[in-house]
Homo-oligomer: A and B are copies of this chain.
Amino acid sequence: MPVNYSTPSPDQLLPVAGIRLGVASAGIRKANRRDLTLLELAPGSRVAGVFTQNRFCAAPVQLCRKHLGSGAIGSIRALIINTGIANAGTGESGLAAARKTCTALASLLAISESQVLPFSTGVIMEALPVDRLVAGLPACQAALSADGWHDAAHAIMTTDTVAKAASRSVNIDGRKIAVTGISKGAGMIEPNMATMLGFVATDAAVSQDLLERLVQEAADESFNCITVDGDTSTNDSFVLIASGAAGNEEIKDAASAGYVALSQAVVAVARELAQAIVRDGEGATKFIEIKVGGGNSPEECRQVGYAIAHSPLVKTAFFASDPNLGRILAAIGNAGIEDLDVTRVKLWLGDILVSENGGRSPGYREEDASRVMAAAEIIVQVDLGRGSRESRIWTCDLSYDYVKINADYRS
């Protein structure tokens, strides 16, 4: 059961002019399950992406990087996404399978292999059944529709318990611009369902330079702020598409009102998709926002936020609604800031000041913290007392069910 999240209905997801989606059941790993998703992009659509930093990055990720890096701007015409098998840890044969996927789709759509971006998510170190995948492509093509977002959100799920999608509409130069996206993931890395995929599209016209800036900016404000269990998967990908079909004058200037409006909408969609992943985190019963301020840099604030969010002890305490908050102090002290003066650190749980001057705050009463911890949504706030920068992380608790899901998966 996700924490305060449900999938938007199909009519809440705005079509994006220039983008059509189609899904099919190709039997990649299981029969009778939608596991193949095609995104068709109008000619001239621009695409930018950010990908996993894991050195064991999956074969499709390697091809995505190559095709995005080599082709002319605006040349990408299709994205193909399979679930079931991650095609990671599969060596040369995995790369050949990903290439074959692109070739087959290119031939079907009368484009070239390098105009296709492939994505896979599922079990690591098992071979992609590329023939079954290729056999499913015509069904995807036949299903292509501008209203395919809702179906696509479902077809890219693996251990997700809920499909994740979000939409915003924004006015730029008097034109109504749509921003719609989908994501999947139920851990930064799931069982070994490698893992986080996010696709966001807009019909706005925007320069390639700004699109690349925006995809990084949006990732930093969304998918790069979440953690379930601290692992980074072999397949993590976040792609931003701008079809330009809305007909606005191309946005070229980061200071322009158009860029500001578009980036706000894209960040909002990406953040909703990212938070949905945490809300649907494996075994999650609580959604926790960790705000760290008073730092010398956003990076050190993130470091502290992640130290708290990754601590199994902090996460189990949240699961138990036990205000065992010394664990948070220990995590802060353990975050790797060499010259942290702990006597200047302050810690709040919700609006309760828990700790200051290196110890328990005089006014702190455990029953107040218990009340905050009983809620399904909790804010932890830390002031490092050494600067004015801040950062924020979203995470979930660690429950019996996390172990159950990850121990039982596959069997």
Contacts from A to B (Cβ < 8 Å):
53-57, 86, 88-94, 123-127, 187, 189, 191-192, 194, 229-234, 310-313, 316-317, 319-320, 322, 324-327, 329-335, 337-338, 340, 342-343, 355, 357-360, 398-400, 402-404, 406-411
Contacts and interface: CB of A to CB of B under 8 A. Distances in A.
A231 B56 CA distance: 26
Question: How many identical subunits does the complex contain?
Answer: 2
Nearest to A356: B91
Given A125-B355, A407-B317, A329 B234 contact: yes
20 contacts: A54-B333, A55-B342, A56-B329, A56-B342, A89-B330, A89-B359, A90-B359, A91-B357, A94-B359, A125-B326, A189-B327, A192-B317, A233-B330, A234-B329, A312-B312, A316-B407, A320-B406, A320-B411, A322-B411, A403-B403
A92 B360 CA distance: 11
A231 B230 CA distance: 13
B192 A343 contact: no
A312 to B, nearest CB: 4
Contacts of A334: 53-56, 231-232
B125 A360 contact: yes
A324 B191 contact: yes
Given A91-B358, A403-B398, A312 B55 contact: no
A18 to B, nearest CB: 35
Nearest to A335: B55
A55 to B, nearest CB: 4
